[in-house]
């Protein structure tokens, strides 16, 4: 994996006007969907992006590809300022930047056969036709674990997992350097999820593609990512390589997300309290640190000052005023450990009483 950033995102912002009324729509506020995000992606690496629904992760993915226009900020891909490109140059650059959507069926044209669907980008971006195009379509289908005769079929004839393979084959058609995977396995059964994730990993190894992998399932993100960014209300609150983020989470929100994730052993001591309450409306985000309404460590300063994303260890950035002084996750686990056995016994007793 290269150390050179393939993609650099600097202070990216997207605000949507919030409107009310049917005929005469009035602007009643601003939704800060993405609010001052900075990160990079190296060639051939996977950056996982996690957070609750509505935290802005999908909007961020679309902004990077300029499928929607940012309010401000800079996106540099392979040395090109994406915001400065005209239509034609953006179309050429799109060969190298592709997206895979959550719902493959909605993103596939039901009137086109698979062959016709794959022919489109090959014609548009590669100028291909005839036998070379047919050979490339066969190659794409076999690369994602389908057969060349699938080219004659239509999207409704495929299962959910196969449709996602079709979505991947279409993204691969132009030999991209970066693919934004927007919740690509969320709609699939667990066994199919694993197959699609393994397929993405093997394609990355083979073709050196970088992924921005957006998901809300921490187990999936942990499996596929090299580095992970945690988002809350439009901002990155923590970013680190996978080992550091899952082994030593520093932001209270990351800890709460990890504590809320299902584990194989329900009696294992928790390293933080699971997060409580709903995510606040991005239309009226809390002042200061937007997490202060749900944070067990919040202090007066948190209501007032927006925490900057600070580097607290090599490659580990955290947006929390008190990240260095919070009790470590291991401390919390150690303090809770004497009670873990009693809690398990209590749970067993309750279960037995209910069964009796
Ligand atoms: Fe919690 Fe304050 Fe840190 Fe925000 S800045 S995460 S409210 S301790």
Ligand 1 atom at minimal distance to the Cα of residue 251: 6
- Tell me the pairing of strands 5-20 and 26-42: antiparallel
Count Cα neighbours of 123 within 13 Å in the Cβ-side half-sphere.
Answer: 9
For residue 232 and ligand 1, the question of a CB distance below 6 A is answered with no
166 lines ligand 1 (CB under 6 A): no
Q: Ligand 1 centre from 216 Cα, in Å?
A: 22
What's the pTM value of the predicted model, to 2 decimals?
0.86
Q: Is 297 in the pocket of ligand 1 (CB under 6 A)?
A: yes
Output the 3-class SS for the chain. Answer: CCCCEEEEEEEEEEEEEEEECCCCCEEEEEEEEEEEEEEEEECCCEEEEECCCCCCHHHHHHHHCCCCCCCEEEEEECCEEHHHCCHHHHHHHHHHEEEECCCHHHHCCCCCCHHHHHHHHHHHHHCCCHHHHHHHHHHHHHHCCCCHHHHHCCHHHCCHHHHHHHHHHHHHCCCCCEEEEECCCCCCCHHHHHHHHHHHHHHHHHHCCEEEEECCCHHHHHHHCCEEEEEECCEEEEEEEHHHHHHCCCCHHHHHHHHHCCCCCCCCCCCCCCCCCCCCCCCCCCCCCCCCCCCCCCCHHHHHCCCCCEEEECCEEECCCCCCCCCCHHHHHHHHHHHHHHHHHHHHHHHHHHHC
Nearest CA to ligand 1 atom 5: 320
Q: Does ligand 1 come within 6 angstroms of the Cβ of 275?
A: no
293 Cα to the center of ligand 1, angstroms? 9
Query: Could you tell me where the DSSP H helices lie in 182-251?
Result: 190-207, 218-224, 242-247
The conformation of residue 96, written as its DSSP 8-state character, comes to: G
pLDDT at site 100: 92
Q: Report CA(39)–ligand 1 centroid distance (Å).
A: 21
The one-digit pLDDT tens for each residue of the chain (356 residues) are 666 799 999 999 999 988 777 666 777 788 889 999 999 999 999 999 999 888 899 999 999 999 999 999 999 999 999 999 999 899 889 899 999 988 777 778 889 999 999 999 899 887 878 899 999 999 999 999 999 999 999 999 998 889 999 999 999 999 999 999 999 888 888 888 899 999 999 999 999 999 999 998 888 999 999 999 999 999 999 999 999 999 999 999 999 888 877 665 555 555 555 667 778 888 888 999 999 999 989 999 999 999 999 999 999 999 999 999 887 666 655 555 555 555 455 556 656 665 66
Whether residue 275 contacts residue 253, with contact meaning beta carbons closer than 8 Å, is answered with yes
Whether the CB of 230 sits within 6 Å of ligand 1? no
Q: Residue 262: CB partners within 8 Å, gap ≥ 6?
A: 219
Does 307 sit in the ligand 1 pocket, CB within 6 Å? yes
Rounded to the nearest angstrom, the distance between the alpha carbon of 317 and the centre of ligand 1 is 14
- CA-to-CA distance for 183 and 19, rounded, in angstroms? 28
Ligand 1 atom nearest to CA at 292: 7
Q: Is 302 in the pocket of ligand 1 (CB under 6 A)?
A: yes
pLDDT of residue 206: 94
CA distance 225 to 151: 32
Q: What is the pLDDT of residue 351?
A: 62
Using the mean position of ligand 1's atoms as its centre, give its distance from the Cα of residue 272 in Å: 14
pLDDT, residue 3, reads: 67
Residues contacting 219, CB < 8 A, separation 6+: 261, 262
Determine whether the shortest distance from the Cβ of 309 to ligand 1 is under 6 A. Answer: no
The predicted pLDDT at position 74 comes to 96
């Amino acid at each position: 994996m290269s150390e050179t950033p393939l993609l650099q995102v600097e202070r990216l912002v997207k605000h949507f006007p919030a409107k009310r009324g049917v005929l005469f729509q009035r602007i009643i506020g601003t939704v800060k969907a993405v609010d001052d995000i900075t990160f990079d992606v190296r060639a051939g690496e996977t950056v996982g992006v996690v957070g609750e629904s509505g935290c802005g992760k999908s909007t961020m993915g679309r902004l990077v590809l300029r499928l929607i226009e940012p309010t401000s900020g800079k996106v540099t891909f392979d040395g090109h300022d994406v915001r400065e490109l005209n239509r034609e140059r953006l179309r050429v650059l799109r060969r190298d930047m592709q997206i895979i959507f959550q719902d493959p069926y909605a993103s596939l044209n039901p009137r086109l056969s698979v062959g016709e669907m794959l022919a489109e980008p090959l014609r548009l971006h590669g100028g291909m036709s005839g036998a070379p195009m047919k050979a490339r379509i066969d190659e794409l289908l076999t690369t994602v674990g389908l057969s060349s005769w699938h080219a004659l079929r239509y999207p409704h004839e495929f299962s959910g997992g196969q449709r996602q393979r079709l979505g991947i084959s279409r993204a691969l058609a132009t030999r991209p350097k970066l693919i934004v995977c927007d919740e690509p396995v969320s709609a699939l059964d667990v066994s199919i999820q694993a197959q699609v994730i393994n397929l993405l990993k093997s394609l990355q190894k083979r073709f050196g593609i970088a992924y921005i992998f957006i998901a809300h399932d921490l187990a999936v993100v942990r499996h596929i990512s090299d580095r992970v960014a945690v988002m809350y209300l439009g901002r990155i609150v923590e970013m680190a390589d996978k080992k550091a983020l899952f082994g030593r989470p520093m932001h209270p929100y990351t800890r709460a997300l990890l504590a809320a994730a299902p584990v194989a052993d329900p009696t294992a001591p928790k390293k933080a309290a699971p997060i409580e309450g709903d995510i606040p409306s991005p239309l009226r985000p809390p002042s200061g640190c937007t997490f202060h309404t749900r944070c067990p460590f919040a202090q007066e300063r948190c209501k007032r000052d927006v925490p900057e994303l600070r580097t607290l260890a090599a490659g580990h950035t955290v947006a929390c005023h008190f990240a260095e002084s919070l009790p470590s996750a291991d401390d919390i686990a150690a303090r809770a450990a004497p009670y873990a056995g009693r809690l398990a016994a209590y749970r067993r007793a309750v279960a037995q009483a209910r069964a009796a």
